Structure 1
Amino acid sequence: MFNSEQESRKGRKQSSTALRENMAGKIQVLTLDEREQLLPMLRNAQWAEVVGRDALYKEFIFKDFNQAFGFMSRVALQAEKMDHHPEWFNVYNKVHITLSTHECGGLSKRDISLATFIDQVSVL
C-alpha cells in the first residue's frame, strides 16, 4: 500500500511538472493590442513600466511590518498557485514589486493577472 501511495504521488508530481512545462511553452509576451487594452488600468493603479526592461513596478506602503508581511504572505500563496513569482524587496512597512515573465522575456498575461490580484489584496 505504501508503494502504491508513493507511485500515485509520483504520478501527480510528474503530471504537475508536465503541465508547467506545457504552460511555459505557451507563454507569450503581450502584443501591442493587449498592451493598449490592459496596461492603462494598471497605470491608473500606480503601476509603472520599468525603463529599459519589459516589466511593471509598484511600491506599497503599509502601517507597519506586520501588515506588509501579511500582504506578502497573501501574494506568495497566490504566486505559488499561479507558478509565477514576483521580484520583490521589503524593508519594514514598504514592499517594492517588479513583475515580468522570465519564460517569455517580458510582460505576459500572467503579470497582468498577478498585478490585479496584488492590488486587490493590498487594501485588505
Structure 2
Amino acid sequence: MEKFTDKQIEDYLGQLDGWEYVDGAIETTFEFKDFKEAFSVMTRIAFECEAQGHHPDWSNVYKTVNIRLSTHDANGVTEKDFVLARSIEDIIESD
C-alpha cells in the first residue's frame, strides 16, 4: 500500500466530516450518550476493522471515543485508512 502525499490526504479529508490530519495520521473524536453506547459502537467498529484487516489506534473515556488511523507498514496514511474511516462513519451514522 502506497503512502499518500499531503495533497492526497487533504483531498480525501474533504470527503469526511470531522477528521483531521495530525502527526502522520488521520484522527477524529466521537461523543455518545453514555459509556454503553460508546462501547457498543466500538464493538461494531472492531468487527469491521477485523474484516478489513486494519486496526486503529483508539481510546475510550466514558462516552468519548478517539480514533487515529495510519498504515504502519507504509509509515503513513494510505487508501486503507480512508476506506476504514468511511466504514466507521457509516457505522456511526447507522446508529
Using the size of structure 2 for normalisation, the TM-score is: 0.90
Q: Which runs of 4+ in 1 moved over 6 A?
A: none
Q: Write out per-residue CA displacement over residues 83-119 of structure 1, whole angstroms, 9 at most, x where no aligned residue.
A: 1000001011100010000010000001001111111
1:55 matches 2:25: yes
The structure that has the greater radius of gyration is 1
Measured in 2, the distance between the counterparts of 1:97 and 1:120 equals: 15
Shift of 1:33: 5.8
Q: Which has the higher contact order (CA 8 A, sep 6+)?
A: 2
- Structure 1 residue corresponding to 2:86, chosen from 116, 120, 123: 116
Unmatched 5+ residue regions in structure 1?
1-26
- Structure 1 residue corresponding to 2:34, chosen from 64, 79, 82: 64
Using the size of structure 1 for normalisation, the TM-score is: 0.70
Amino acid at match of 1:49: Y
Q: Which has the higher helix share?
A: 1
Q: Residue 38 of structure 1 aligns with which residue?
A: 12
Aligned pair count?
A: 94
Q: Write out per-residue CA displacement over residues 35-86 of structure 1, whole angstroms, 9 at most, x where no aligned residue.
A: 35322112xx010111xx2201101000011110111011100101111000
Q: Which has the higher strand share?
A: 2
